[in-house]
C-alpha cells in the first residue's frame, strides 16, 4: 500500500531544487498538490510545469532576504522549507585553499541557517516546518571532505536547536542521507558498474534514490508531532570494511 499526501494550498521552497535530490523532492511535493518554488544561483534551461523559480545564492543574506520576499509577494505564505542545497568537491584539508573550505561550510551550514531564519515569520504564521537534508558524512569520519562532514554535523545540531527554539509552531527535522544515486552518481563512482559496487556495500542492496529522500520529506513536512528528529535514510548503513577483510574478500 502506498502512502499519499495532500499538500494542496501549501507553498513549499526547495533550495537547490533544480537537479539531483532537490529535483526529486520538488517533484514529489508538486505531485502532492503543493505550489513549489525552487532556487539556485542560475535558472536551469527547463523546469517541470508548475514549479516556480527564484535565482539566489543562499550563502548571501541579502539574496536570501530577496528570495523569501519574492515568495511572500507571489504566494502570500510559506508552509515548508526543504534546505537541500549543499555538497562538496573532493578536497583533502592539507594543501587546499582555506577559502574553499570556508565556502563549503557556508553552503552546507550557514546557508540553511540563513534561509530558516528569514523564513521563520512565514513558517510561524502557517504552523509550518523545516526539513534539513543532512548526510551520513556528518555522523562518521569523512576523509577528503572534512569541511563538508563537519558542516553537516553542525546542520544536524542546528536542526535540533531550532526545533526546541521554535516549538510548537514550527517543526524542524533532518533527513540524514547516506550514499545516494543521482544523475551525477555514475561520474562520481566510476560509471554504472561503480554505482552497482557501491550499492552492494549497503544492506538494502542499493543507494538511496531521490524518491526515497522525497518520501521522507513528505512525511516530515506533514502536520504532526515529530520535531527535532533525525531520520537515517541510508538503507541500513554501509557494511564495515572489517567484515570483508575478516571473510578474506578484502585487501
Q: What is the bridge-based pairing of β-strands 11-15 and 129-135?
A: unpaired
Q: CA-CA distance, 82 to 84, in Å (whole number)?
A: 6
State pLDDT tens for residues 74-118: 999 999 999 999 999 999 999 999 999 999 999 999 999 999 999
> What is the side-by-side order of every strand in the sheet holding 129-135?
51-55, 35-40, 11-15, 80-83, 129-135, 171-177, 230-233
State pLDDT tens for residues 181-236: 988 777 777 788 888 888 998 999 999 999 999 999 999 999 999 999 999 999 99
As a whole number, the mean pLDDT across the chain is 94
Res. 29 pLDDT band, cuts 50 70 90: very high
Q: Is 148 marked active-site?
A: yes
Q: How confident is the model at residue 245, as a pLDDT?
A: 63
What is the dotted CATH code of the domain comprising 11-236? 3.40.50.720
Q: Which residues lie closer than 8 Å to 236 by C-beta, 6 or more apart?
A: 202, 203, 204
Flag whether pLDDT at 250 surpasses 70.
no
Flag whether pLDDT at 158 surpasses 60.
yes
Flag whether pLDDT at 73 surpasses 90.
yes
Catalytic residue among 5, 7, 90, 148: 148
Please state the domain extents for the chain. Answer: 11-236
Amino acid at each position: 500500500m502506498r502512502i499519499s499526501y495532500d499538500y494542496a494550498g501549501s507553498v513549499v521552497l526547495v533550495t537547490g531544487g533544480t537537479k539531483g535530490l532537490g529535483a526529486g523532492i520538488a517533484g514529489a511535493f508538486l505531485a502532492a498538490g503543493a505550489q513549489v518554488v525552487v532556487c539556485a544561483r542560475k535558472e536551469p534551461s527547463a523546469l517541470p510545469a508548475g514549479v516556480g523559480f527564484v535565482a539566489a545564492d543562499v550563502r548571501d543574506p541579502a539574496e536570501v532576504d530577496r528570495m523569501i520576499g519574492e515568495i511572500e509577494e507571489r504566494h502570500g505564505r510559506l508552509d515548508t522549507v526543504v534546505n537541500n542545497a549543499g555538497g562538496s568537491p573532493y578536497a583533502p584539508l592539507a594543501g587546499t585553499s582555506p577559502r574553499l573550505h570556508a565556502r563549503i561550510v557556508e553552503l552546507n551550514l550557514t546557508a540553511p541557517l540563513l534561509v530558516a531564519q528569514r523564513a521563520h515569520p512565514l513558517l510561524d504564521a502557517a504552523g509550518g516546518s523545516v526539513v534539513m537534508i543532512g548526510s551520513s558524512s556528518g555522523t562518521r569520519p569523512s576523509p577528503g571532505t572534512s569541511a563538508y562532514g563537519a558542516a553537516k554535523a553542525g546542520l544536524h545540531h542546528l536542526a535540533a536547536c531550532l526545533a526546541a527554539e521554535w516549538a510548537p509552531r514550527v517543526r524542524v527535522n533532518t533527513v540524514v542521507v547516506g550514499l545516494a544515486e543521482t544523475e551525477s552518481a555514475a561520474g562520481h563512482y566510476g560509471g554504472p558498474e561503480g554505482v552497482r559496487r557501491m550499492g552492494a556495500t549497503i544492506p538494502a542492496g542499493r543507494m538511496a534514490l531521490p524518491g526515497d529522500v522525497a518520501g521522507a520529506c513528505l512525511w516530515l513536512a506533514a502536520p504532526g508531532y515529530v520535531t527535532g528528529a533525525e531520520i537515517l535514510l541510508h538503507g541500513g548503513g554501509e557494511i564495515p570494511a572489517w567484515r570483508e577483510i575478516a571473510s578474506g574478500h578484502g585487501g
